[in-house]
Amino acid sequence: MADAAHYLGLDIGGTFLKAARVDAGGQVVERRREPVASGDAGALLAQLETVARGLGGAARGCGVGLPGFVDRRTGVVHGVPNLRVLEGVALARELSERLGVPTAADNDANAAALAEAWQGAGRGAESVLMLTLGTGVGAGLVLGGRVYTGRSGYAGEFGHLQVKPDGVPCGCGSWGCLETEVGVAGWVRRAAAARERAGGRTALAGVELDPERIVEAAKAGDAVALAVVDESAALLGVAIAFALDLLNVEKVVIGGGVAAAGEFLLGRIREQVRRRTFPQIFADAEIVPAALGGDAGVVGAARLAMQAAGAA
Residue 61 phi, psi dihedral angles, 5° rounding: -175, 165
- Of the listed ranges 31-40, 52-61, 139-148, the least confidently predicted one is 52-61
pLDDT of res. 62: 97
What single string gives the DSSP state of each residue in 225-238? HHHHHHHHHHHHHH
CB 61 within 8 A of CB 8: yes
pLDDT of res. 200: 84
pLDDT band at 56 (very low <50, low <70, confident <90, very high): confident
State the average pLDDT over residues 36-44.
94
Residue 130: pLDDT over 90: yes
pLDDT of res. 1: 39
Nearest CA-CA partner of 67 in 1, 18, 128, 24:
18
Residue ranges, CATH 3.30.420.40, the chain: 6-114+295-308, 124-291
Residue 57: pLDDT over 80: no
pLDDT of res. 81: 87
Strand segments, DSSP code E, in the chain are 6-12, 16-23, 28-35, 62-66, 69-70, 77-78, 103-107, 127-133, 137-143, 146-147, 251-255, 286-289
How do residues 254-268 score in pLDDT, each as one tens digit?
Answer: 999 999 999 999 999
How far apart are the C-alpha atoms of 225 and 28, rounded to whole Å?
39
pTM metric for this prediction: 0.94
pLDDT of res. 2: 45
Query: Any bridge partners for residue 106, and if so which?
Result: 65
How do residues 74-104 score in pLDDT, each as one tens digit?
Answer: 999 999 988 999 999 999 999 999 999 999 9
pLDDT of res. 58: 81
pLDDT band at 3 (very low <50, low <70, confident <90, very high): low
CATH architecture of structural domain 124-291 = 2-Layer Sandwich (3.30)
- CATH code 3.40.50.1580 for 6-114+295-308: no
Q: If 0-12 CB within 10 Å is exposed, 13-18 middle and 19+ buried, where does residue 58 land?
A: exposed
Mean pLDDT computed over every residue of the chain: 95
**Beta strands 6-12; 62-66: pairing state:** parallel
How do residues 232-290 score in pLDDT, each as one tens digit?
Answer: 999 999 999 999 999 999 999 999 999 999 999 999 999 999 999 999 999 999 999 99
